[in-house]
Amino acid sequence: MALVKFGGGVIQMSGSIAGNTYARNRFGNYVRSRTKPTNPKSAQQVAIRASIASLADRWSQVLDDAKRQSWNLYGASVNMKNRLGETVNLTGFNHFIRSNAIKCVYKKTLSDDGPGIFELPGQDPEMAVTATEDPQQISVAYDKDRAWNDETGGFLWVYQGVPQNAQRNFFAGPWRLLGSVIGETGVPVASPLVATPQFPIAEGQRLWVYARIQRADGRLSEIFRADCFVTENGA
């Protein structure tokens, strides 16, 4: 891996070119050789690929022009950030896939109409996680009074990362769906979400989770995270 300091021509770069990957961490810019990952064709990979293929077909064959235009308007109106931190706008097709991929995988009702509110749902700053080795259990606390939890069709999607050694300070994956909380109008679900780990955990390990909020109109929040150290038990 090589460190890089850009000059007056190119001031920032992120991505892969000719076998090299350009990226940035807290120490600055760097370049590393790009390696081609293996393709184990896990059940999770197969499911998400199938869902994206199904949604692409749905976009062209099922949605009419009015629905596609509603997604295009949403995409043009909602600002996103790319890997360089620049403001960009995704296409309506991008947002349709982004909002519906997880719903398709887990057989939830799809959002065919583009959202009429042109902003992403807010994140939950109160989310916190605890985990125990005996019993194997992860508890994710969240703010039950947020709007998604009081509307039918709202979701909190929570993912668990592979547990790491205690000295790790950063984690970027892999992840697996830990569980979800399904909102219902007039009957908000009490916190926390308690689930059996998707990856076995042991005392002293560091554990990361991330979550996304999804509103009934299909809008999907950015990722927000929490982490903890696994304890022996809940005592």
- What CATH number is associated with residue 141? 2.60.40.10
Give the number of other Cβ atoms within 10 Å of residue 8's Cβ: 5
Could you give the angle at which helices 43-61 and 92-105 cross, rounded to 10 degrees?
130
Same domain, 144 and 187: yes
Pair (132, 225) in one structural domain = yes
- What is the reported pLDDT for 191? 95
CB 165 within 8 A of CB 230: no
Domain membership of residue 121 (yes or no) is no
Same domain, 135 and 203: yes
Do 219 and 145 fall within a single domain?
A: yes
Q: What is the mean pLDDT of the chain?
A: 90
**Is the CB of residue 189 less than 8 Å from the CB of residue 149?**
yes
Q: Over 90: is that where the pLDDT of 21 sits? A: no
Domain annotation covers residue 122: no
Tokens of 202: 């042991």
Residue 111 within a domain? no
What local confidence, expressed as pLDDT, does residue 2 receive?
Answer: 54
> DSSP state, 164?
B
Do residues 219 and 159 both lie within one domain? yes
Q: Is residue 118 part of a domain?
A: no
Identify the pLDDT of residue 82. Answer: 79
With bands split at pLDDT 50, 70 and 90, how would you rate the model's confidence at 36?
low
Task: Please tell me the distance from the alpha carbon of residue 220 to that of residue 126, in angstroms, as a whole number.
Answer: 18
Residue 34 has pLDDT above 90, yes or no: no
The answer to whether residues 135 and 209 belong to one domain is yes
Q: Does the pLDDT value for residue 93 go beyond 70?
A: yes
What integer pLDDT is reported at residue 45 of this predicted model? Answer: 81
pLDDT at 233: 82
Tell me: do 97 and 135 sit in the same domain. Answer: no
**Residues 177-209: pLDDT tens digits?**
999 999 999 999 999 999 999 999 999 999 999
- pLDDT bucket at 55, cuts 50 / 70 / 90: very high
> In terms of domains, do 79 and 133 share one?
no
What band does 57 get if pLDDT is binned at 50, 70 and 90? very high
Q: Same domain, yes or no, for 224 and 133?
A: yes
In-domain check, residue 136? yes
Residue 64 has pLDDT above 90, yes or no: yes
CA 8 and chain centroid, separation: 35
Q: How many CB atoms lie within 10 A of CB 91?
A: 12
Q: How many domains does the chain have?
A: 3
Q: Where in the chain does DSSP place strands (E)? A: 2-4, 15-17, 20-25, 28-33, 80-81, 87-88, 128-132, 137-141, 155-161, 175-182, 193-195, 206-214, 224-229
pLDDT of residue 88: 87
**pLDDT score of 71:** 98
Q: Are residues 175 and 209 in the same domain?
A: yes
- DSSP run (H or E) holding 44: helix 43-61
Residue 226, pLDDT above cutoff 80:
yes
Contacts of 33 (CB under 8 A, 6+ apart): 19, 20, 21
Q: Is residue 112 situated within a structural domain?
A: no
In a domain, 204, yes or no: yes
pLDDT at position 134 over 90: yes
What's the pLDDT score for residue 39? 67
Q: Is residue 110 in a domain?
A: no
Domain stop point among 105, 120, 149 = 105
Say whether both 225 and 132 belong to one domain: yes
CA pair distance 118, 98, nearest whole angstrom:
15
Q: Find the range with the poorest average confidence among 26-40, 116-130, 142-156, 215-229.
A: 26-40
pLDDT at position 228, please? 97
205 and 225 together in one domain: yes
Domain assignment of residue 164, given as a range: 128-229
Average pLDDT over residues 166-182: 93
What would the mean pLDDT of 100-121 be, rounded to a whole number? 95
Which of 71, 105, 139 is the last residue in one of the domains?
105
